[in-house]
Structure 1
């Protein structure tokens, strides 16, 4: 039973009576007070939109798109700001404060999101980013964060064959590589020795299935099947050019400038652009290098 209780604490908010909690809803203004405007909830109750979120020319009956959560005293409150994740959504959030009862995460609202101690899947460090899912604790009827992401992960479908393109959120880096949350449902990994372009915790991007493992997890790769892999430095340059189109670096650029921009020596840079030029991937111009759009 003790293993079931944490899961029960995350029961969907609709069992708790307030359908709008944790979501963006368009609600009508019922009435105004000195503190703001009271908006009508679907239950017939009201929620306060504080005065600071009003423009001053609103009228009763006018509808406003708001996010509903609870304030520091656990009272329902509406704001016109949007958090980094809504109810039942995942996000990579930064740890702001460690407390004896949990960790407060920055999710883009005045009141931080608490990950209770019982919902921590790892030790957190202030300033670092972690994968969190927004849930409801039915005992307190408040939004909480859950860091035990594997409670929500399923085995990847069998049709995840090599080459399948997927959307993934990079959420952790280990000795093996980068962990990726695929389609908010499955766990993937990109091995470190196969990362040849900038990859950061919190990046949302496309990946390609390399292999579906027997345990239901997925090995991923950054390049589509059949794409020629170049030397690591050349991959970095090509990735930046695919994003920017042009870079003001060339064989006459100062070594310090190349080192600052790419983290490589001038000799290495010249070798890399030579490889990409011969492959027809880039153009070498007088003032820099550009992607070869005709390729």
Structure 2
């Protein structure tokens, strides 16, 4: 049976009951839900062979996107620290497990529900179907050649983390370009399978994008600026009767900071285009 599981092949419908047809292949019988469509006894039908969550031999004509020898992205649905992560490949009654042996020893870097992994299937000698992470060579075969048109700098790109290494984080972008995040360009290490959006800070001579997950320096908002944003969000009409020209004592009484601190915070918010100043008011632009 091992040679059938996780694969697409044609079987013969040999029996039925109220809920299932029974499909036979190589002397092994699998159940096919009648809810998938009508068939006749003696009919040959193509589908996917597997063992479902209830440990029944199952067959479906709805071919999953990932089979043995075919790779694709599957969404992580749940995590078991003693086993691995469960991934949806498109089956109605089964998720496949990517074993903890394939994942980082640092469990904080394991995928979480909603992340996605690029995997294929493998079947072990006990007829268990596992998800298997794509090898480096498989991933490399996906990448498109990076256009050398000089338009990448500061562009935002989104992609999926596919490899974690001491040197940094490797990303497959949504447009199938390779990208890399050096540890100095992130505040924390992204998880395997996590979706990230980064800013292009350079193009490597090896043909991949260098990304930063950190904001530009002028986008960094300090505690004083965050405090002012909170005031603005709670103020009537999202505006306050203070500007960088307001009286220092009034600023101190209202916000508990010096005029110098206030002006720096206002400057950060103006550069970040979160506020404007007019007619003696500071006004929130983003609500």
Please give the TM-score of this superposition, normalised by the length of structure 2.
0.48
Please give the TM-score of this superposition, normalised by the length of structure 1.
0.47
Greater Rg, structure 1 or structure 2? 2
